[in-house]
């Protein structure tokens, strides 16, 4: 069994035992307060569910620390080792053992169980809440850990700067390529733009022929450069229409004619 699977198994077992101990203390406290058993079990069910969620989230965060990278291990020479992780995860069982040894000779079952449970809760609290944070804090104060962390953060900053530089260069290349395409398309599409503008302002009643010609022009633009090429051609034709009609507002026939060509969609129906 791998280290990861072993830690998961120990993690699950210790968590389950810890929750059982919490549930026992909760039920015992409510019983001593005079609650009936059916009320205790009802409250305990909801409480155990809440405890389960809280502990699961907490131990999930802790368990992620079990798979630290080599860099993190260099900054945490103790808490990232296998013996420490096992010690941390079996803290509830160690507390139970301490409670069991402390209750030897006690004849009352309830007191004996209470001693085991209290030993579990006390040891778990001591290890998880007090000892472990203090140990981690002490590790971060070591000169070697501080130097490694400083070097790691500096390397991360350098890599982040490299990624940003690469992204900016890639964006500049894309924009430059787009500009070159637009300049090239403008020369190629000029005749089609003039023809398309003429179709848009033509008063001929043969609308089917006009639409078919416009569709052929749109398909050709799609084959040349895709959606961007079609947009540029449409803008060029629209500008020519404005110049010929000398009006700022014109009816956009092109968007309707080209609807469905490639990825072109009529904005009026989008």
Of the chain, the percentage scoring pLDDT greater than 70 comes to 78
Entry field: residues in the chain: 270
Structure tokens at 62: 């802790």
Q: What is the pLDDT of residue 65?
A: 46
Could you tell me the sign of the dihedral formed by the alpha carbons of 200, 203, 207, 212, in that order?
negative
Per residue in 67-99, pLDDT (tens digit) is: 444 447 778 888 888 888 888 888 889 999 998
Q: Please, is 60 exposed, middle or buried when counting C-beta atoms within 10 Å of its C-beta (0-12, 13-18, 19+)?
A: exposed
Q: Which of 113-117, 128-132, 207-211, 241-245 has the lowest mean pLDDT?
A: 241-245
Angle between helices 91-102 and 3-32 (to 10 degrees): 50
Q: What is the pLDDT of residue 69?
A: 45
Contact criterion met (CB below 8 Å) for 250 and 260: no
The C-alpha atoms of residue 126 and residue 24 are separated, in whole angstroms, by 20
Q: What is the pLDDT of residue 11?
A: 77
The C-alpha atoms of residue 79 and residue 60 are separated, in whole angstroms, by 16
**Chain Cα centroid distance, residue 201:** 52
Q: What is the pLDDT of residue 68?
A: 45
Nearest to 79 by CA among 68, 91, 94, 95: 68
How is 155-216 classified by DSSP, letter by letter?
A: HHHHHHHHHHHHHHHHHHHHHHHHHHHHHHHHHHHHHHHHHHHHHHH---S-HHHHHHHHHH
Could you tell me the sign of the dihedral formed by the alpha carbons of 76, 80, 82, 87, in that order?
positive
Q: What is the pLDDT of residue 43?
A: 47
Global pTM?
A: 0.52
Q: Which of 10-19, 67-76, 141-150, 202-211 has the lowest mean pLDDT?
A: 67-76
Question: For the residues 23-31, what does the mean pLDDT come to?
Answer: 70
Domain layout of the chain by residue ranges: 3-141, 173-257
């Amino acid at each position: 069994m791998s280290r990861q699977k072993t830690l998961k198994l120990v993690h699950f077992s210790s968590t389950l035992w810890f929750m059982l101990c919490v549930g026992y203390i909760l039920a015992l406290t409510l019983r001593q307060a005079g609650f009936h058993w059916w009320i205790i079990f009802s409250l305990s069910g909801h409480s155990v569910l809440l405890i389960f969620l809280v502990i699961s989230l907490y131990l999930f965060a802790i368990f992620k620390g079990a798979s630290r990278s080599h860099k993190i291990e260099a900054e945490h020479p103790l808490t990232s080792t296998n013996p420490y992780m096992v010690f941390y995860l079996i803290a509830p069982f160690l507390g139970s053992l301490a409670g069991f040894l402390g209750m030897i000779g006690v004849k009352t079952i309830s007191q004996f169980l209470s001693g085991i449970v209290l030993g579990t809760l006390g040891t778990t609290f001591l290890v998880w809440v007090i000892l472990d944070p203090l140990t981690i804090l002490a590790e971060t104060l070591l000169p070697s850990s501080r130097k490694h962390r400083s070097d790691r953060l500096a390397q991360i900053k350098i890599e982040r700067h490299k990624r940003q530089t690469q992204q900016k260069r890639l964006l500049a290349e894309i924009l430059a390529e787009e500009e070159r395409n637009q300049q090239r398309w403008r020369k190629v599409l000029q005749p089609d733009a003039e023809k398309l503008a003429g179709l848009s302002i033509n008063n001929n009643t043969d609308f089917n022929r006009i639409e078919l010609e416009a569709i052929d022009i749109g398909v050709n633009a799609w084959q040349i450069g895709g959606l961007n090429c079609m947009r540029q051609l449409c803008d060029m034709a629209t500008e020519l229409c404005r110049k010929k009609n000398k009006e700022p507002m014109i009816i956009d026939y092109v968007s309707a004619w080209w609807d469905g060509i490639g990825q072109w969609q009529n904005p009026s129906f989008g």
